[in-house]
Structure 1
Amino acid sequence: MTLNEFFEQNGNKTIEIQDDGTIKVLEEKGPWKPECEEKYCTIYGCGSVETFKWVDCLMDDLRKEMGNVFQTKAEAERMVHRLKARKKFLDAGGHEGVERYFDLQPPTKPVWHIYPTGCGYLRTEKKSGVTAFDIWFESEDDVQKAIDSLTDDEKAALCWIGEER
């Protein structure tokens, strides 16, 4: 069976080709959802982290829908630091999304972006193209001002890419 035949029969599922040439369909996990009575953490508006038991009520569902359900306190605190960093980027002259980008002439003018790396530092790059959730800067000075405004915890939260090492 060719890959095209496989996809025609099985749909566009995520696969892994094994060493012996067979195809393994990978499970699509989606975001974590607590089991009934399992503890989870959530962030309050002031940035504090609280722990609740999942009871499948409206509040649990609303928190989950907003992406405000975390498996551990550390994950929730990391998100608080990321949100604070995002605010500091905007306060330091960053622009959010594509709307302001198209006000610049020409429309493909390169702008400055900050990229987290898995090595624990932030990298800057000047490039064209902005997505809806990008925060971008018109000058290198604004980028540096934004990076300098971050605490070590905020930098670490932006550079975190997965499981603790």
Structure 2
Amino acid sequence: MGMTLKEFFEQNGNKPIEIQEDGTIKVLEEKGPWKPETGERYYVVSDIGAVGALCWCNDEIDKRKLDIGDVFRTNAEAARALHRLKARKKFLDAGGHEGMDGYEFGDKYHVYPQRGENRLNATIEGNVTAFDIWFETKADAQKAIDSLTDDEKAALCWTGEEE
């Protein structure tokens, strides 16, 4: 037995919906970053470069962490973010440059993940690449790759699939 729209909204609130061709209603997933419920545990990358767990109080500190993307559902998600931060620093330490500074994307060497193989490649690449950091030479790009730990490489190659 069906329900009226009023009954539907009373049960589901104002969530975004889509009317299907057969007339049924599909509740759409809300977009945006995940936000814990009050009292729920979440994970962060701390100011000393470690992963930690906090309890969501919905206070100003929690909201600021959410604004900068430092709120994660799991320890593994926070650890992956930490590995990416470390890898970005190593790219810059190995001679990488941020921004294109007037160069065409195809003029410089970039590092990009070879998805499915969990490995990184260095080449002249015309697409968006890891951190949009470029290198003068292929050797510098390879030096950056070689400086990464396996966890840092895995964080850059992660495809967004569940753990």
Shorter chain as denominator, the TM-score bin is 0.7 to 0.9
Equivalent residues in 2 for 1:52-71, closer than 5 Å: 52-71=54-73
The answer for the alignment partner of 2:139 in structure 1 is 141
Distance 2:128 2:158 in 1: 22
TM value normalised by structure 1:
0.74
Superposition misfits of 4+ residues, deviation over 3 angstroms:
24-28, 127-131
**Cα separation, partners in 2 of 1:138 and 1:78, compared to 1, 3 Å:** same
TM-superposed deviation, 1:26: 4.9
Q: 5+ residue gaps in structure 2? A: 1-17
**Cα separation, partners in 2 of 1:44 and 1:124, compared to 1, 3 Å:** same
Q: 5+ residue gaps in structure 1? A: 1-14
**2:109 partner amino acid:** W
Distance 1:71 1:108 in 2: 35
The answer for the alignment partner of 1:30 in structure 2 is 32
2:122 equivalent among 102, 105, 124: 124
TM value normalised by structure 2:
0.75
Number of residues paired by the alignment? 143
The answer for the alignment partner of 1:8 in structure 2 is none
TM-superposed deviation, 1:109: 6.1
**2:97 partner amino acid:** H
The answer for the alignment partner of 2:107 in structure 1 is 110
Alpha-carbon RMSD across the aligned residues, in angstroms, is: 2.8
